[in-house]
């Protein structure tokens, strides 16, 4: 048995299930959940229709590299969305389709990490737990960089010591961030690019929330966009991960891509050929349709803006909630400790939320998620409003 499996921490939802054991929720209220980041908006008809029309392709074996038409559709989307130079992404060498970003983030870590005693992977704290698990199973040591309010919920790159940068092989960037909703500004991405060049590590930018933002005139910047702006048009040491799950309300489609450094992707293709994780042909055909349409994405953002506005109007008078720039999460401060808050509101209001401390790791006595909860505004507007009213009622009763 791989001994590194023993190093894995329980997933937040496993810990949440244990927390709720023996707790009876209020039977007078219907259950509501703001815990899991699974989009509940309807999957667009163009995606469903394409899936139906292409289902006969299930009789074909898929190629690991994906069909040219899909890679070209992704390249076109990247160039338009991130204002890249014309033909600024080579669909033949700089794009690979993947079965959702989670699978790809895990696999790229296994592909990239050179097993050395001092191998380190840097990541924000709090974080998406796949970063940590992938690091441990690759035989490396995770380094948690606290994302604190005083630094706009971003890791402080200047606080990392020289030796840690020297040992760094991979840096996980999450922008827009899960769970804080913070967007890494261009200036910080430029700083990270300079560090990657100086210390020779790879940046893996998880951008799966990039298409859910509150200001329609100000989409979040991406790693490839910033790299190209400073002359790194080959995207050396840069990888971005995107998905249709959040953008197109299609989490079950398991469709995404990784793009960037051609030399890394050449090795990653070899890894994936043995990994046996090619995207099904009908999923590829449907993904072409999804990446080619922005109308449903704009409507998706409109719904999220509507929910953010309504929920913040209800909750802002009773709890401290930073206005997120993007994603569909609220990173709310609790009046009591986050674990007690989560357990008690489940019991009294039949509402599920996630304790912030379950999404973070304690380092040097500090857990940056403590006394916060993550609220995922993924349900229909009426349910999000009802959930907000229950939170307000619970806080007022304390």
Domains of the chain and CATH, by start: 3-42+296-397 (3.90.1150.10), 56-293 (3.40.640.10)
List pLDDT tens digits, range 284-335. 999 999 999 999 999 999 999 999 999 999 999 999 999 899 999 999 999 9
Cis, bond preceding 179 (omega within 30 deg of 0): yes
Phi, psi of 199 (to 5 degrees): -105, 0
List pLDDT tens digits, range 37-90. 999 999 999 999 999 999 999 999 999 999 999 999 999 999 999 999 999 999
What's this model's pTM, rounded to 2 decimal places?
A: 0.97
The pLDDT, as a whole number, for residue 378 is: 97
Coil, strand or helix at 174 = strand
The pLDDT, as a whole number, for residue 374 is: 98
Helix, strand, coil percent values for the chain (each to nearest 5): 45, 15, 40
Count of helices and strands (H, E) across the chain: 14, 13
- Residue pair 203/232 in contact (Cβ under 8 Å)? The answer is no
Per-residue pLDDT of the chain (398 residues; tens, 9 = 90+): 888 899 999 999 999 999 999 999 999 999 999 999 999 999 999 999 999 999 999 999 999 999 999 999 999 999 999 999 999 999 999 999 999 999 999 999 999 999 999 999 999 999 999 999 999 999 999 999 999 999 999 999 999 999 999 999 999 999 999 999 999 999 999 999 999 999 999 999 999 999 999 999 999 999 999 999 999 999 999 999 999 999 999 999 999 999 999 999 999 999 999 998 999 999 999 999 999 999 999 999 999 999 999 999 999 999 999 989 999 999 999 999 999 999 999 999 999 999 999 999 999 999 999 999 999 999 999 999 999 999 999 999 99
Q: H or E element: which one contains 237?
A: none
């Amino acid at each position: 048995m791989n001994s590194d499996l023993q190093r894995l921490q329980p997933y937040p939802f496993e810990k949440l299930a244990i927390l709720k054991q023996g707790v009876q929720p209020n039977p007078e209220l219907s259950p509501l959940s703001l815990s899991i980041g699974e989009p509940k908006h309807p999957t667009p008809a163009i995606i469903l229709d394409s899936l139906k029309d292409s289902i006969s392709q299930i009789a074909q074996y898929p190629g690991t590299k994906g069909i040219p038409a899909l890679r070209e559709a992704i390249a076109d989307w990247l160039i338009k969305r991130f204002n890249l130079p014309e033909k600024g992404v080579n669909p033949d060498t700089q794009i690979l389709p993947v079965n959702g970003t989670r699978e790809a983030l895990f696999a790229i870590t296994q592909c990239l990490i050179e097993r050395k005693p001092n191998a380190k992977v840097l990541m924000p704290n709090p974080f998406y737990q796949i970063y940590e698990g992938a690091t441990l199973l690759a035989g490396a040591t995770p380094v948690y960089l606290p994302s604190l309010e005083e630094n706009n919920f971003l890791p402080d790159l200047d606080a990392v010591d020289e030796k840690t940068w020297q040992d760094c092989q991979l840096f996980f960037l999450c922008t827009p961030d899960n769970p804080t909703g913070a967007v890494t500004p261009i200036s910080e991405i430029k700083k990270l690019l300079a560090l990657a060049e100086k210390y020779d590590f790879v940046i893996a930018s998880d951008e799966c929330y990039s298409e859910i933002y509150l200001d329609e005139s100000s989409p979040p910047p991406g790693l490839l966009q910033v790299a190209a702006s400073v002359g790194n048009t080959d995207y050396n040491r840069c990888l971005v991960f995107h998905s249709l799950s959040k953008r197109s309300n299609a989490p079950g489609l398991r469709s995404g891509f990784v793009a960037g450094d051609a030399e890394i992707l050449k090795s990653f293709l070899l890894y994936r050929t043995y990994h046996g994780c090619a995207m099904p042909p009908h999923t590829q055909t449907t993904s072409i349709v999804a990446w080619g349409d922005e109308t449903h994405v704009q409507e998706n953002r409109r719904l999220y803006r509507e929910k953010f506005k309504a929920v913040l109007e209800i909750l802002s008078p009773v709890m401290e909630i930073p206005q997120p720039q993007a994603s569909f999460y609220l990173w709310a401060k609790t009046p009591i400790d986050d674990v007690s808050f989560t357990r008690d509101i489940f019991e009294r209001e039949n509402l599920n939320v996630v304790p912030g401390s379950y999404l973070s790791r304690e380092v040097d006595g500090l857990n940056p998620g403590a006394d916060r909860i993550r609220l995922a505004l993924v349900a229909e507007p009426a349910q999000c409003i009802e959930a907000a009213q229950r939170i307000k009622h619970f806080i007022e009763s304390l």
